[in-house]
A and B are shown apart, each in its own frame.
Chain A
């Protein structure tokens, strides 16, 4: 059960009634009062969201998914396969034109309905998906194309087959590739950023995070199960994990937040998607000016200082060294 979907039910009824009244030609004071009431309700319901509510926002069934972002690009030509085992439909990648700029796009693709979710493995990427990503990153670097990734996964696939085909090696391989490609890398965390499975395509020079996306070391359910042996305590774990866009901006883990419409990206998705693309475009323009050596050095230093430890100096926290 999604707490945001539940909360929307009452609101949807009111909104439908306003629509009906408007069709009937109702206007003036009555209409205005009703509209103000709805607006107040929206603010009341969505004005301030807890971490757990944001987790539900990130998992909302109507939230824009990778394919919605890909559809908003000028052009996209999908490239398939890892050249070894199979094509992983949970990881979609290929050449694209983003505001006239040639790029390589990588994305984690959830499905819109059950049937597609099963085909896409709910956006959980298998080793062959990461190997495809790694292959496409190298290809991008060879032809000097920036890499743009859209992150939306609850985590890497935890199945038998994935273990048999070395999920660890596949993720480590992706990370290794991203450490050395001498082209700009921009990642957009648009839905769920689930642990290492998300990071594998998000080690980037610039990271944009949607306001209500979450990015976490473990799913709140997984964290609660590990620490307290009780997955039902996920809402509590979500608060502890500091997984919201604001938290992560403070830690220096994300560089920019893309603000969402009140009530979430799905309530007015087209302009929101353009806003994310705006951010990517700005980052690409800025990064394109950097010489390759400086780009790699900046990437190294960016991650080098993330953490919180006491060393020779005072406590260094949240990348604010």
Chain B
């Protein structure tokens, strides 16, 4: 299938590579891993199988066939509450921008997966703990609206500590906003797949995280509504090791599949094939004049 014209622009390359050291330590088993091997293994520890949290652009680049058109990158945060504790909120944002090489906690755009054009959103825990403020809400909403206009399937990779405190109630309202956009998206027959990665909690989990047609999760990812510490404080006892893991949720019937990261892309392609079908994505080429920024 030819790549649609509007997809002929590649955005970022392995952005974390420039300053990365040659070796990286596995946060679980402490094995020193040779970075090139680690990248080839999709940031899965070759010794213990631990899934190291991925940078959003690395995730994008390992998923799409080649081209990725980012949209919504011009949607940037303000400081609606004028929040300042130890540091003013704009300073925290600036530090996270430098540290994470991201403009916000989610990257959105279009690409193809084995030829299937998709609207793709990838959250990143490195930026303010993947918290949902108004920019995350606006970019996700924008992605769903643009995806709906093009009748594309949408895949969102979640990674979030919940709502962003520094944007207060404006952050909470993004649950409503994204859900409204998602409802319209789904009502028109478009497929929405959520891929829950480590960790997915709070407002993201309780909106576009769990309101999906298909819910996939990466192996051993921590997923839940309330944070583990909050629950432990409430019940005043330690929780079992596997509580709120992807595997626990699968057993309880909350999600469709738990996958090793290395099996994720082929699984997504198979699901797209079942739900959308190769012949049915063809008319997409006929969509005229797509004004992608």
**Contact between B226 and A167, CB atoms less than 8 A apart:** yes
B235 contacts across to A, CB distance below 8 A: 159-160
Of the candidates A159, A175, A195, A308, the one whose C-beta lies within 8 Å of that of B80 is A308
Interface residues of B in 195-219 (CB under 8 A from A): 202-203, 205-211
A215 contacts across to B, CB distance below 8 A: 169
A308 to B168 CA separation, bound complex (whole angstroms): 11
A300 to B141 CA separation, bound complex (whole angstroms): 11
B168 contacts across to A, CB distance below 8 A: 216-217, 240-243
Task: List 19 other contacts, CB 8 Å, given A199-B175, A248-B169, A307-B170.
Answer: A158-B234, A159-B235, A160-B239, A163-B243, A167-B206, A167-B224, A169-B254, A180-B183, A180-B187, A195-B203, A199-B173, A216-B169, A226-B165, A241-B165, A251-B80, A253-B170, A306-B176, A306-B177, A315-B78
**Contact between B231 and A160, CB atoms less than 8 A apart:** yes
B18 contacts across to A, CB distance below 8 A: none
Interface residues of B in 155-212 (CB under 8 A from A): 163-165, 167-177, 179-184, 187, 202-203, 205-211
A226 to B167 CA separation, bound complex (whole angstroms): 14
Q: Is A24 an interface residue (CB 8 A)?
A: no
B79 contacts across to A, CB distance below 8 A: 308
| Given A179-B180, A180-B183, A304-B180: A217 in contact with B165 (beta carbons within 8 A) | yes
**Contact between A172 and B209, CB atoms less than 8 A apart:** yes
Chain A CB within 10 Å, residue with most, of B181, B207, B252: B207
Of the candidates A168, A226, A306, A317, the one whose C-beta lies within 8 Å of that of B209 is A168
Q: Is B6 an interface residue (CB 8 A)?
A: no
A316 contacts across to B, CB distance below 8 A: 78
How distant is B292 from chain A, measured CB to nearest CB, in Å? 14
CB-CB contacts of A169-181 with B at 8 A, as 1s and 0s? 1011101100110
Chain B CB within 10 Å, residue with most, of A156, A168, A169, A196: A168
| Given A159-B235, A172-B209: A223 in contact with B202 (beta carbons within 8 A) | no
A253 to B176 CA separation, bound complex (whole angstroms): 11
A169 contacts across to B, CB distance below 8 A: 206, 210-211, 254
**Contact between A163 and B176, CB atoms less than 8 A apart:** no
| Given A163-B231, A173-B211, A317-B78: A242 in contact with B169 (beta carbons within 8 A) | yes
How distant is B94 from chain A, measured CB to nearest CB, in Å? 14
Main secondary structure of the interface of B (DSSP, over half): helix
Q: Is A227 an interface residue (CB 8 A)?
A: yes
Residues of chain B having any CB pair with chain A under 8 Å = 74-81, 83, 85, 134-135, 137-138, 141, 163-165, 167-177, 179-184, 187, 202-203, 205-211, 223-226, 230-231, 234-235, 239, 243-244, 249, 252, 254
**Contact between A166 and B252, CB atoms less than 8 A apart:** yes
Q: Is A318 an interface residue (CB 8 A)?
A: yes
**Whose C-beta in chain B lies nearest to the C-beta of A173?**
B211
**Contact between A159 and B234, CB atoms less than 8 A apart:** yes
Chain A CB within 10 Å, residue with most, of B74, B169, B224: B169
A180 to B207 CA separation, bound complex (whole angstroms): 15
Chain B CB within 10 Å, residue with most, of A163, A228, A241, A317: A163
